[in-house]
Structure 1
Amino acid sequence: MTVNEDVFTNWKTREEIAESMIPIIGRLHRERDVTVLLHSRSLVNKSVVSILKTHRFARQIDGEELSVTETLPFLQALTVLDLGPSQIDIGMLAATYKTDARGLSVEEFTAEAVIGATGANKLDRREPRDVVLYGFGRIGRLIARLLIEKAGSGNGLRLRAIVVRNSGSEDLVRRASLLRRDSIHGQFQGTITVDEANNKIIANGSEIKVIYSDDPTSVDYTAYGINDAILIDNTGRWRDREGLSKHLRPGIAKVVLTAPGKGDVPNIVHGVNHDMIKPDEQILSCASCTTNAIVPPLKAMADEYGVLRGHVETVHSFTNDQNLLDNYHSSDRRGRSAALNMVITETGAASAVAKALPDLKAKITGSSIRVPVPDVSIAILNLQLERETTREEVLDYLRNVSLTSPLKRQIDFISAPDAVSSDFIGSRHASIVDAGATKVEGDNAILYLWYDNEFGYSCQVIRVVQHVSGVEYPTYPAPAV
């Protein structure tokens, strides 16, 4: 057998193993509400090639490729356990098993690592929590996709309705079409049909009522069978407590804003301060995409090195708030063509840090430049640290944070030397540390943080909603603190 034939045979063998993993992952998800992860990346509803690529990606953060031959035994071990609702990271199981010197079998080690999700310890499967989307723009449609995707097990969050203005006779069909096809994020993964007689969009079996209203105070959600729901406001029209309180109508229990909140509205960055949400809090904000991108790595650096001061410069993709061609705009510069110019503008991300990290005394300043790309931005975080360090130390630390810390769902890490912005479209992390661009000299560290300002941010919103709804299940093995 030639070398090329040997490599190809190895690939076909791994394909066969990955193919055998798919039905196991599907059954665990549907029947037990268990989400199988690999280094914080969900393997649910993934193709053979996607599963293999996710395993291969482990070399970017762990130094070497992870093989399906290593993870399959742990996946098989899960099938014989009395598992309850949870998220289980088979990548972490495989990695921690390598360093365990007790001589346990894979089955024994797995049972011990996930004991909090088995037998008498397991959680009850919770009833689905109703969700309403107020507004159906860029973020609203991506959140809808995520909610529909997570409805596969029949539990968790359930998208019941979308509230929009009626734009005419073709409104329902056009909105369904925008959900079905996206120029940046691609085709919807599944089927979408329209029930015009009942004003419904049916996506992968989920019936979503489309409610037409120009005024949140005019809607009685209980009339549509919606109760105790979480409403996600994607319009940004109201940002303070008084305005957002208009949504607290019959059927709505909590309101989550997908923009920075004003006044006393809590600004939440999941992974950093979501535990501070009071159980009786009815109104909260998920801050901005840039705030979500910089706060987790800023917290990580502050925890390890201390931060005296910092500046964040965001090079941000253009948004619908800008004009396609030069035209009147209420803000300076944003009236100039977004597709043809770099546009200097303001960012509230730096000032929002104080709300998410109240214990951080360092002064953080910020500014932003909008550039002619439709998605994925980069934040350049320039920090003066409390102690001197080296580039190697910082990179090793952030790599480990992305792998094993409580921030591993927020912070990703990449060492590819040729990575560019489009490579991060669809990233589910709040930000991705670019190892090759990182600069450290003495007590000065400059981090380059990529982020999908649409999809990554939408994932952070979903995490907050899951937390406040009580359907956020624990992850095993537990992250290192």
Structure 2
Amino acid sequence: MTVNDDSFTNWKNREETAEAMIPIIGKLHRERDVTVLLHSRSLVNKSVVSILKTHRFARQIAGEELSVTETMPFLRALTTLDLGPSQIDIGMLAATHKADDQGLSVEEFTAQAVAGATGSNKIERREGRDVVLYGFGRIGRLVARLLIEKAGSGNGLRLRAIVVRGGGEQDIVKRASLLRRDSIHGQFQGTITVDEANSTIVANGNAIRVIYANDPSEVDYTAYGIKNAILIDNTGKWRDRAGLSLHLRPGIDKVVLTAPGKGDVPNIVHGVNHDTVKPDERILSCASCTTNAIVPPLKAMDDEYGVLRGHVETVHSFTNDQNLLDNYHKSERRGRSAPLNMVITETGAASAVAKALPDLKARITGSSIRVPVPDVSIAILNLQLAREASREEVLDYLRDVSLTSPLRRQIDFISAPDAVSSDFIGSRHASIVDAGALKVEGDNAILYLWYDNEFGYSCQVIRVVQHVSGVEYPTFPAPAA
């Protein structure tokens, strides 16, 4: 048999194993609220090829490919356990079992590693929590996609309504079409139908009421059967406590802003300071996409090396706030054509660091350039460290952070030599460390951090909403502190 025959036979065998994984992953998700991960990447509703590619991507991080034949025994072991709602990373199970010296079988090791999600330790399945989207633009539609995707067994977050200003003829049909198709993020994964008579969009079985209102005061959510809901404001029209409090209407319990909050509104970056949210806090912000991109790696670097000062330069994709063609704009330069120019502008991300990392003493400055790409940005984080380090040391540290630390859902790592911005469309991490571009000289480190400023940020928003709603389930094996 030739090498080519061996490779093809191996591929077919792995395909067969991945096919067998799909019903197991789906059943765990639907019946037990268990999300199966592979190095922080969800395997729920993934195709055979997607599962195989996710396994192969581990090579970019850990240096060697992870095979489905290695992870399948751990997946099968999960089906024998009395699991409660949780997230279980079979990639981490395989890696930690390989390094374990107890001599345990796969079944014994798995039972021990996920003991916090079994038997008397398991979390009881909760009632679903209603969610309302106020605004349905770029972030609103991506958050909607994520909420629909994560509906699972129906015991998590439930998107009940979308509030928009009244449009023209066939308004709801056009909005449903924008949810169904996206020029950047592709087709919606599932089916969407429209019930115009009842002003409802049905997406993968989720009935989503479209409510027309020009102001929060016009809506009584209880009239639509909505109660104790979390409202996600995607408009950015109100950013202080007084303005956002307008949303606290009958049926709404909490308000989450998808823009930097002003005044005393807490700015939350999941993975960094989400555990500081007080149970009785009713209004909070998810900060900006750039703040979410730089704060986790900044925290990681400060924890290990200490950061004395820093500067972040963001090369940011253009947004709807800019003009397609030259026209009046209240901000300087942003009135010039976005698809035709690089535009120097301001960013509040550096000043927002203090809200998310109050213990960081370093002064962080920042500036931004908008460039003619529709999505994915890069933050160049230039840091003066408290001690000297080598490039290899920093690379190994950040690689480990992306794999095993509590920040592994926020920080990704890539070593591909020819990576470019479009490669990161759809990334669910807050930022991705580009290993090839990293520079370290003495006490100076320069990190190049890619981030999908639309989808990656939307994932961070969902994580915050899950946390404050009480449906953020624990991850096993637990990340190293």
Q: Is the structural similarity TM-score above 0.5? A: yes
Q: Is the 8 A contact 2:414 2:432 kept in 1?
A: yes
In the TM superposition, residue 153 of structure 1 has moved relative to its aligned partner by: 1.9
Instruction: State the distance in 2 between where 1:300 and 1:426 align.
Output: 23
In structure 1, what is the equivalent of residue 329 of structure 2? 329
How many Å separate the matches in 2 of 1:407 and 1:153?
Answer: 27
Deviation at residue 74 of structure 1 after TM alignment: 0.1
Return the alpha-carbon distance in structure 2 between the equivalents of residues 375 and 458 of structure 1. Answer: 13
Instruction: Give the alignment of 1:1-16 within 5 angstroms.
Output: 1-16=1-16
How far the C-alpha of 1:346 sits from its partner, in A, is: 0.1
1:306-343 alpha-carbon deviations (Å, 9 max, x no partner): 00000000000000000000011010000000000000
The separation in 2 between residues aligned to 1:419 and 1:401, in whole angstroms, is 20
Superposition deviation, residue 357 in structure 1 = 0.1
1:190 is matched with 190
Partner of 2:69: 69
Counterpart Cα distance in 1 of 2:206 and 2:19: 27
Corresponding position of 1:364: 364
1:280, CA displacement in angstroms? Answer: 0.2
Distance 1:389 1:6 in 2: 44
**CA shift digits 1:347-405 (9 cap, x unpaired):** 00000000000000100000000000000000000000000000000000000000000
1:155 CA displacement:
1.4
- Aligned position for 2:461: 461
Aligned mates of 1:466, 1:6 — CA distance in 2 = 45
Residue correspondence of structure 1 range 424-463 to structure 2 within 5 A:
424-463=424-463
| Deviation at residue 102 of structure 1 after TM alignment | 1.1
Give the secondary structure class of the aligned counterpart of 1:447.
Answer: strand
Question: Is 1:102 matched with 2:102?
Answer: yes
Indicate the percent of aligned positions where both proteins have the same amino acid: 88
Q: Pairwise mapping of residues 10-89 of structure 1 onto structure 2 (< 5 A)? A: 10-89=10-89
- Amino acid of the residue matched to residue 197 of structure 1? A
CA offsets per residue over residues 164-205 of structure 1, 9 Å max, x none? 001112110000000000000000000000000000000000
Instruction: State how far apart, in whole Å, the 1-side matches of 2:419 and 2:346 are.
Output: 27
Q: CA deviation at 1:218?
A: 1.4
What is the match of residue 226 of structure 1? Answer: 226
- Backbone CA RMSD of aligned residues: 0.4
Determine the C-alpha separation between the residues in 2 that align with 1:2 and 1:36.
36
1:83-135 deviations in whole A, cap 9, x for unaligned?
00000000000000000111100000000000000011100001000000000
Q: Which residue of 2 aligns with 1:235?
A: 235
Deviation at 1:67, TM superposition (A): 0.3
Partner of 2:306: 306
Q: Which residue of 2 aligns with 1:278?
A: 278
Separation in 2, partners of 1:403, 1:201: 38
Give the superposition deviation at 1:154.
1.5
Superposed, which structure 2 residues align to 1:54-453 within 5 Å?
A: 54-453=54-453
- TM-score, normalization by structure 2: 1.00
The amino acid that maps onto 1:189 is Q
Q: Output the CA distance in 2 between the equivalents of 1:313 and 1:463.
A: 26
What is the distance in 2 between the residues matched to 1:218 and 1:266?
26
How many Å apart are 1:2 and its aligned residue? 1.1
CA positional deviation for 1:69? 0.4
Name the aligned partner's letter for residue 324 of structure 1.
Answer: L
Query: In 1, are the aligned partners of 2:33 and 2:152 still within 8 Å (CA)?
Result: no
One-letter code of the match for 1:233?
A: D
* Corresponding residue SS for 1:308: strand
Name the SS of the counterpart of 2:145 in structure 1: helix
Aligned residue type for 1:323: N
1-structure distance, mates of 2:37, 2:99 = 20
CA distance in 1, matches of 2:153, 2:269: 26
One-letter code aligned to 2:329: H
Please list every run of 5 or more consecutive structure 1 residues that lacks an aligned counterpart in the other structure.
none
Question: Please, what TM-score do these two structures have when normalized by structure 1?
Answer: 1.00
Give distance in 2, aligned partners of 1:76 and 1:350: 46
Cα deviation for residue 3 of structure 1 reads 1.0
Aligned-partner Cα distance in 1 for 2:441–2:355: 29
| Distance of 1:6 and 1:133 partners within structure 2 | 52
Amino acid at match of 1:158: R
SS of corresponding position for 2:150:
helix
Q: Any gaps of 5 or more consecutive residues in structure 2?
A: none
Q: Give the whole-Å Cα distance in 1 for the aligned partners of 2:129 and 2:366.
A: 37
Cα distance, 1:152 vs structure 2: 2.3
* SS of alignment partner, residue 174 of structure 2: helix
**Which residue identity lines up with residue 213 of structure 1 in the other structure?**
A
CA distance in 2, matches of 1:248, 1:64: 51
Quote the residue 1:480 is aligned against.
480
In 2, Cα distance between the equivalents of 1:186 and 1:381?
30
Question: How far apart are 1:253 and its partner, in Å?
Answer: 0.2
The CA distance in 1 between the partners of 2:200 and 2:102, in whole Å, is 57
Letter of the 1:451 partner, please give it. Y
Instruction: Kindly provide the amino acid, as one letter, of the partner of residue 28 in structure 2.
Output: L
Q: Shift in Å at residue 8 of structure 1? A: 0.3
Aligned residue type for 1:254: K
